Chain A
Amino acid sequence: MSRLTQSLLLVLLGGAVLRISLLSTTYLNYVKPGFRPFLVAAGLVVFVLGLVGVYQEWRKNSHEDEHEHGHGHGHGPGVAWLLTLPVFAIFLIAPPALGAFAARSEEVPARPPVAALDAYAPLASGQVTAMPLGEFIGRAWGDSGRSLAGRQVRLTGFVVPSKKKDRWYVARIQIACCAADGIPLKVAVLDADAPPENTWVEVTGTWVDPKLEELPKGTVAPELSAGSVTVIPAPVEPYE
C-alpha cells in the first residue's frame, strides 16, 4: 500500500464519517445523540490527516529528483484495506436503525433497569399520557402503586408481529452507547389489527392489569388494550 493510497483511504474514511455525523443524522442509527461531537472530531482528524498526506505526496512528486531519502517505510499495512469495508457498508447497505428483526424473539429479554423502584409519579386521570416504552414496562412490573391502572397512555415504537393470534408488539430498541448493545423493549398490543412489520406507530390505550401478584418478571411483555393506532413516520432518533 503506497503512501498516496494510505492518504486517499484516510480521506475516504474520514469523509464517510463526516457524511453520517456532520452532514446528516444517519449516525443516530448507530450511536447515542451525545456522541456527535466526538464523531465529527474523529472524522475531521482522519480526513485532515489524509488531506495533508495527499498534499505532501503531490508536492513531493513535483520535486521528484531532489527527493531521495526516507521512503523505505512507505508501505503501510495491508490490513488497512479492511477499512474500506465500513465505507462500503455505509454507502451500499446504508444500514437502517435496528428494527423488527432485532426484536423478533418471542421471549422478552431481561427487564431494563428501573431507575428507582416505586418512585413513579402518579398519572393524571382523564387525559392521555405519552411515555417511553421503558417507563411503561417499569410501571407495569415494578410499581407497587399500580399507577398505570385505568390510565390512558400513548406509546411510540415499531410493529413486531407475534406468533400468538390475538396480539402484536409495539417495540423499541434501547441502547446504552451503540447499536451493538441494543436491548428490545416490547409491549403487547391487544384489540387492534396489526399494521405491517416495522411500521412506526403511536398506540393509545390502557394497561391490562394481569391481576396476579407474582409474575415471572421480565419473561412476559406487559399488555396494552389499544384504543387507537396511528401510523407515524420513523422518528429521527430511533432508539430509546
Chain B
Amino acid sequence: MAPVAPWLFAVIVGLLVFGRFVLSPYLTAPALQTWATIFVAICVQALPFLVFGVLLSAAITAFVPPSFWTKALPKRPIMAVPIAGAAGAVLPGCECASVPVASGLMARGVTPAAALAFLLASPAINPVVVVATVVAFPGQPMMAVARFGASLLVAVLAGWLWLRFGRSDWLRIPSRPADAGSKWANFRDAMQHDFLHAGGFLVVGGMTAATMNVIVPRSWLDAVAGVPWLSVLALALLAVILSICSEADAFVAASLTSFSPTARLAFLVVGPMVDLKLIALQTGTFGRRFAVRFVPVTFALAVLVSVAVGGVLL
C-alpha cells in the first residue's frame, strides 16, 4: 500500500521553496513578524528541553525495569507522593522536559499521583531554577526559599488531591508502541513517538502564547499592580499567558518591580505548573478530561499557597 503522506510531504517542501521566493517579500507586517519572532523563540527555546525530556523518558521506558520503581518508591501511595515531588529536585530542566518524563513514569507503573507530584515539582525546584532565582533577586534570598517551599507544597497537595479524588478513567496513561524487538529499537520508537506528539502540542502552546504576547498590552497589568489581591491574580495570569521557561521566569519576575513580592512569588510558582504551552502539552499527553480538572485545581492551589507562603516569608 502506498501511503499518501510522503506525497503530502513533498508538497510541503515544494511550498517552502516556492514560498521563499514568492511569498516572503509580502510577509513583512511588523505585527506578523513580532508574532513570528516570539512564536519561533518559544519553540526554539523549548526544543532542547523537550529533546532532553523525551530522551530521558524513552531511556526510562526502554532501559529501566518496572521493578526499579516499586523498590525506589514507598509502597503506600500517600508516602510516594511527597518522595516523588522531592525527587523533582534532581531533574535539571524546565516544564517541557517534565511532561514526557512523568508520562514515561506512569507508563512504567508509577502511581499517577506520584508522577503528577513529580511533574509539578521538578520544573520549579531543580538546582538550575533555584540558582537562577537567587541570581535574579540579589539580596533577597528568601524569594528562592519561598519559591522552593511553595512549589513543593503545591505539588504534594495536588498529588494527594489526585490520590483522594482523582479517577483513573480521567487520565489517559500514554500507550507505548508495541515491543519492536531490541531495547534500542524500543528506545528509538518511544523517542520518535513522544517527540512528535509533545512537539506538536508545544507548537499549539507556542502559537497561543505568542498571540497573547502581541495583543495583550502590558499597561493593563500595571494598572492593577497596586491592588493586593488583584495584583496576585494578575501576575498569576501573566505567568499562564507568557509561558516563559521556568529557568528564565525569575528574571522577568524581578523586572516587575511595581508588584508586591507575594504577587511575584505567585508568578514564579504558577508559571512552571500552569501555562499555555504546558496546558497544550498536558492535554496532548494525558487527555482533555484530565487537563480540564487538573489545570484549574493546580492553578487555584498555586495561587493560594503563594499567598500563604508569601505572607509568612516575604
**A contact set with B: CB distance below 8 Å:** 1-2, 4-10, 12-13, 17, 20, 27, 29-31, 35, 38-39, 41-43, 45-46, 49, 52-53, 70, 72-73, 76-77, 79-102, 105, 107, 109-113, 115-116, 176-181, 183, 218
- Give the complex CA separation of A118 and B34 in angstroms: 36
Which residue of chain B has its CB nearest to the CB of A7? B192
Contact size range, B: 35 or more
- Give the complex CA separation of A52 and B251 in angstroms: 39
Q: Least Cβ distance of A180 to chain B in Å?
A: 5
Evaluate contact between B197 and A80: CB separation under 8 angstroms.
yes
Which residue of chain B has its CB nearest to the CB of A85? B203
Evaluate contact between B12 and A70: CB separation under 8 angstroms.
no
Q: Which residues of chain B are near A96, meaning CB under 8 Å?
A: 33, 37
Q: Does B134 lie at the interface of the complex (its beta carbon under 8 Å from any beta carbon of A)?
A: no
Cross-chain pairs A/B with CB under 8 angstroms, 10 sampled:
A5-B8, A31-B41, A38-B48, A41-B48, A43-B47, A77-B284, A79-B197, A87-B16, A99-B30, A109-B255
Which of the segments B144-152, B173-181, B286-294, B306-314 contacts the partner chain? B173-181
Q: Least Cβ distance of B275 to chain A in Å?
A: 11
Evaluate contact between A46 and B51: CB separation under 8 angstroms.
yes
Residue among A1, A73, A178 facing the most chain B CB atoms (10 A cut-off): A178
Q: Does B209 lie at the interface of the complex (its beta carbon under 8 Å from any beta carbon of A)?
A: yes
- Our pick among B13, B33, B51, B204 for the contact of A93 (Cβ within 8 Å) is B33
Interface string of B232-265 (1 = CB under 8 A from A): 0000000000111101111110111110000000
Q: Which residues of chain A are near B254, meaning CB under 8 Å?
A: 113
Evaluate contact between A115 and B138: CB separation under 8 angstroms.
yes
Q: Least Cβ distance of B33 to chain A in Å?
A: 6
- Give the complex CA separation of A17 and B16 in angstroms: 15
Q: Least Cβ distance of B12 to chain A in Å?
A: 6
- Give the complex CA separation of A9 and B13 in angstroms: 10
Evaluate contact between B199 and A112: CB separation under 8 angstroms.
no
Which residue of chain A has its CB nearest to the CB of B209? A180
Evaluate contact between B32 and A181: CB separation under 8 angstroms.
no
Q: A92-B24, A92-B27 are in contact. Are A2 and B16 (CB under 8 A)?
A: no
Q: Which residues of chain A are near B199, meaning CB under 8 Å?
A: 13, 80, 82-83
**B contact set with A: CB distance below 8 Å:** 3, 5-6, 8-9, 12-13, 15-16, 19-20, 23-24, 27, 30-34, 36-45, 47-48, 50-52, 55, 136, 138-139, 177-178, 180-181, 188-189, 191-193, 195-197, 199-201, 203-204, 206-207, 209-210, 213, 217-219, 222, 242-245, 247-252, 254-258, 284
- Our pick among B3, B44, B218, B245 for the contact of A2 (Cβ within 8 Å) is B3
Evaluate contact between B44 and A17: CB separation under 8 angstroms.
yes
Evaluate contact between A177 and B40: CB separation under 8 angstroms.
no
Evaluate contact between B5 and A91: CB separation under 8 angstroms.
no
Q: Which residues of chain A are near B48, meaning CB under 8 Å?
A: 35, 38-39, 41-42
Residue among A87, A93, A100 facing the most chain B CB atoms (10 A cut-off): A93
Evaluate contact between A92 and B44: CB separation under 8 angstroms.
no
Q: A39-B44, A39-B48, A80-B197 are in contact. Are A180 and B38 (CB under 8 A)?
A: yes
Evaluate contact between A97 and B37: CB separation under 8 angstroms.
yes
Evaluate contact between B9 and A9: CB separation under 8 angstroms.
yes
- Give the complex CA separation of A113 and B251 in angstroms: 8
Evaluate contact between B40 and A90: CB separation under 8 angstroms.
yes
Q: Which residues of chain A are near B9, meaning CB under 8 Å?
A: 5, 8-9
- Give the complex CA separation of A99 and B189 in angstroms: 42
- Give the complex CA separation of A103 and B161 in angstroms: 43
- Give the complex CA separation of A112 and B200 in angstroms: 34
Q: Which residues of chain B are near A10, meaning CB under 8 Å?
A: 192, 195-196
Q: Kindly list the 5 A-B residue pairs having the minimum CB-CB distance in the complex, ordered from nearest.
A: A177-B248, A176-B251, A79-B200, A179-B41, A80-B196
- Give the complex CA separation of A46 and B55 in angstroms: 11
Q: Which residues of chain A are near B217, meaning CB under 8 Å?
A: 105
Evaluate contact between B19 and A177: CB separation under 8 angstroms.
no
- Give the complex CA separation of A17 and B244 in angstroms: 20
Q: Which residues of chain B are near A94, meaning CB under 8 Å?
A: 24
- Give the complex CA separation of A20 and B201 in angstroms: 22
- Give the complex CA separation of A105 and B222 in angstroms: 13
Q: Which residues of chain B are near A86, meaning CB under 8 Å?
A: 39-40, 43-44, 203, 206
Q: Which residues of chain A are near B136, meaning CB under 8 Å?
A: 113, 176
Q: Least Cβ distance of A79 to chain B in Å?
A: 3
- Our pick among A5, A12, A179 for the contact of B5 (Cβ within 8 Å) is A5
Q: Which residues of chain B are near A53, meaning CB under 8 Å?
A: 188, 192
Q: Which residues of chain A are near B192, meaning CB under 8 Å?
A: 6-7, 10, 49, 53, 76
Q: A87-B16, A101-B30 are in contact. Are A81 and B248 (CB under 8 A)?
A: no
Not counting A45-B55, A101-B33, A102-B34, a sample of 10 additional A-B residue pairs whose C-beta atoms are within 8 angstroms of each other reads A5-B5, A49-B191, A53-B188, A77-B193, A77-B197, A80-B197, A86-B206, A95-B36, A107-B219, A110-B257
Q: Least Cβ distance of A66 to chain B in Å?
A: 14
